[in-house]
Amino acid sequence: MIRVLIERYIADDLADHYEKAARATLTKAMQAHGFISGEALHDTQNPNHRVVLATFRTIQDWQRWARSGERQEAMATINPMLTSDEKITLLEH
């Protein structure tokens, strides 16, 4: 089992649009092979710093989702709202 930590910084005044797109992306991810759980969080000190913490069965399951057309389509919606590229960290026990 692995955890995927995704950090994003959204542009000012785009929180509502980002939240809608992030929820839609998480809903799609829930259907991905090997997806176990996921949650979307925000930084209490910086409202533009968002974190997604997802659990996948294996690194290969994550990589399959990361390369999927569904995620690429979702990111095409999210990326214009970001002030920098998302940062992805893979973690395991």
Please report the DSSP string for 79-93 in residue order: GGGBSS--EEEEEE-
Q: What is the pTM of this model?
A: 0.93
How many domains does the chain fold into? 1
Domain housing 88: 2-92
Percentage of the chain modeled with pLDDT above 70? 100
Tokens of 34: 């090997």
Task: Please report, for the domain that includes residue 35, its CATH number.
Answer: 3.30.70.100
Strands, E assignment, 1-93: 2-9, 35-42, 49-56, 87-92
DSSP 10: B
pLDDT at 52: 95
The packing angle between helices 15-29 and 69-78, to 10°, is 170
